[in-house]
Structure 1
Amino acid sequence: MNTIDQYQINIQDSQNHIAIDERLIQVIQEAVCYLLQTEKVNQAEISLAFFGNPAVRALNQQYLAHDYDTDVLSFLLDSEADPEQQTTEIRGAGKRIEGEVIVSAEMAVAMAEKYQWSAKHELLLYVVHGLLHLCGYDDLSEDELQLMRTKEQQIFDHWGLKIPRREE
């Protein structure tokens, strides 16, 4: 577990598809903190877990009754918001969140090949996407999906990385 300012980040690696070394852990922690700061989240306790497709699919079945592989699952365990800091543009503003983000490293490897970029960048994209869900964004409508895609790219702009175009 690592504590950076007001954010606690716990990372569990239970897969063998992507080497999650100290450097990648540092990048992931930096990305989580940058996103939470950008979203003006007051305090957060985030658990990130990296698995293969079978484990993520089992969780998807168990908790969401979805019988298919997926790239990322987000579970908001607890949330409080300061109403005076809330905005519709920045949905994390003033929040204290506790949540879990479950990522399929196996899917990241497959999709990175499809989109012709690094599996580690694809993995990071899943982390960012999951965190945006915890902040209050969703992708159930076309407008919301486009907002999430914009937010994802804004985070990746911090590293000068362009996310490959996704066709839904």
Structure 2
Amino acid sequence: MTLALEWIDEREYSDEEAESGWPQLLERLLQIAGQAEGVEEGVVTVTLTDDEGIRELNKEYRGLDKPTDVLSFPLRGGEEPNIHYDDDFETLEGGNPEDVGGDPFAELLGDIVISVPRMHAQADDYGHSAERELGFLFVHGFLHLLGYDHESEEQEKDMFAKQEAVLSKAGLTR
């Protein structure tokens, strides 16, 4: 098995022409990040949604009735698997007992859900391309799938350095 990306687009509308390179971009970022982290196999599912779709997930899993930019749902883990949710770098932990040992879906690394409207707004706010922001959110979510977090200043510094290294290698600089 290799490191693979599954792609789901739940949005009602999309700009097919402007977004045509996104699957290849995220596949490339997955390979670069996987290589950097020594992850050679597994499946990552990325779901593109809108603010309403991510708001519903945020409400269901975090109790926060508001949209966010990215949610990560790790499906592999140790004895106490974690689910990481990002909203301005807040992180909560939870778990699913089905993810502990003997999981028939062991090759699944997890799911990353990205709100495309928030991604575009943040790209505008930061003054960089939509592709750069999409890449940032994807790599951020991927690192959460691997257990990285940013609850402390040291963890945040480490995680963000890893993100920037992957994005730089892919040519996605600010």
TM-score, normalised to structure 2's length? Answer: 0.75
Q: Does 1:40 align with 2:38?
A: yes
* Counterpart in the other structure of 2:122: 111
Residue pairs, 1:62-141, within 5 angstroms: 62-79=60-77, 98-141=109-152
1:50-106 per-position Cα deviation (integer Å, ceiling 9, x unaligned): 0111111110110122222211000012246xxxxxxxxxxxxxx965200001111
TM superposition shift of 1:20: 2.7
CA distance in structure 2 between the aligned counterparts of 1:42 and 1:97, rounded to whole angstroms: 12
CA distance in structure 2 between the aligned counterparts of 1:56 and 1:105, rounded to whole angstroms: 10
CA distance in structure 1 between the aligned counterparts of 2:71 and 2:60, rounded to whole angstroms: 12
* Counterpart in the other structure of 2:22: 24
Change in 2 beyond 3 A, CA 1:137/1:97: farther
* Counterpart in the other structure of 1:166: none
Letter in 1 for 2:33: L
Q: Percent identity?
A: 29
TM superposition shift of 1:17: 5.5
SS in 1 for 2:48: strand
- Total equivalences in the alignment: 145
TM superposition shift of 1:162: 2.5
TM-score, normalised to structure 1's length? Answer: 0.78
Task: Give 5+ residue unaligned stretches, structure 2.
Answer: 79-105
SS in 1 for 2:19: coil
CA distance in structure 1 between the aligned counterparts of 2:38 and 2:108, rounded to whole angstroms: 11
CA distance in structure 2 between the aligned counterparts of 1:112 and 1:42, rounded to whole angstroms: 30
* Counterpart in the other structure of 2:58: 60
Point out 4+ residue stretches in structure 1 off by more than 4 angstroms.
none
Are the counterparts in 2 of residues 41 and 96 from structure 1 also a CA contact under 8 Å? no
Task: Give 5+ residue unaligned stretches, structure 1.
Answer: 81-94, 164-168
RMSD: 2.1
* Counterpart in the other structure of 1:11: 7
CA distance in structure 2 between the aligned counterparts of 1:157 and 1:139, rounded to whole angstroms: 20
